[in-house]
Amino acid sequence: MYYSSYNTLTSNTVSNNDDYGISLWSSSNNNTLTGNNASNNYGDGIYLSSSDDNTLTNNTALDNSGTGIYLDSADNNNIACNLVRTNTRHGFYLTDGTTGSNISYNNIIENGNYNATSGGWEWQFYSAQHRPGEAEHNYWGAGMNSSTIDASIYDDMREWDWKQVEFYPFETEPVQCHPTPKEPPAFTTADTAIALQIAAGSRPPDMRWDASGDGSVTSLDALMILQAAAGSIAIG
């Protein structure tokens, strides 16, 4: 979308593209992107360049080779209730000139590279700009705390001890305004019985117990879960 205003893009699937999934260039004033799935693209999921005063809600951006949601000199946008997960480079990327946007109540999970030393994901949120920003009330993944969230955020002025991106308060459970996939459980021996019950049809299907990743829960999954609980294999 170039130089466009007052448009609504809703419930589209844009995936496996060579570049962006959805991009807005110099498109300001009440464009609304809602309920779109911009995933598995070679570039970024959703890209806004010099595009202000737009709304992005309930979109999914996952498994893109670039960034989930990229804001390039894009001001005063409302970005809430989106699922941004397992993108290769970043979850969010903000360049210089991106100010005044509301980035809150999003599920920002496992983007970038995991750092075993810091416990952070580099980089869930990357701010390459010389001005403060806010990313409050977002959910950053299971078990994340102030220290690991901070380690997952890059800001350009960190070396000057200027806390550029304010992320507190943050959510400790997935934000429910978007149908976020449930986190996989840490398996115990009790999960073996649950998997067997699902396989036998005495318990409702739940793909969290699909240990093999084949789209169904069978006795094989129960065996894998038992092995994972014993520490002999790793799942996930």
Which of 47-61, 94-108, 192-206 is least confident? 192-206
**54 vs 195, higher pLDDT:** 54
pLDDT for 156: 60
pLDDT for 182: 47
Q: Is the pLDDT confidence value at 180 over 50?
A: no
**179 vs 144, higher pLDDT:** 144
Mean pLDDT of the chain: 88
Q: Per-residue confidence at 203, pLDDT binned at 50, 70, 90?
A: confident
pLDDT for 213: 79
C-beta of residue 95 within 8 angstroms of C-beta of residue 125: no
Q: Per-residue confidence at 128, pLDDT binned at 50, 70, 90?
A: confident
Q: Per-residue confidence at 186, pLDDT binned at 50, 70, 90?
A: low
**93 vs 100, higher pLDDT:** 93
> Rounded to two decimals, what is the model's pTM?
0.74
Average pLDDT in the 205-222 region?
82
Q: Per-residue confidence at 192, pLDDT binned at 50, 70, 90?
A: confident
pLDDT for 114: 94
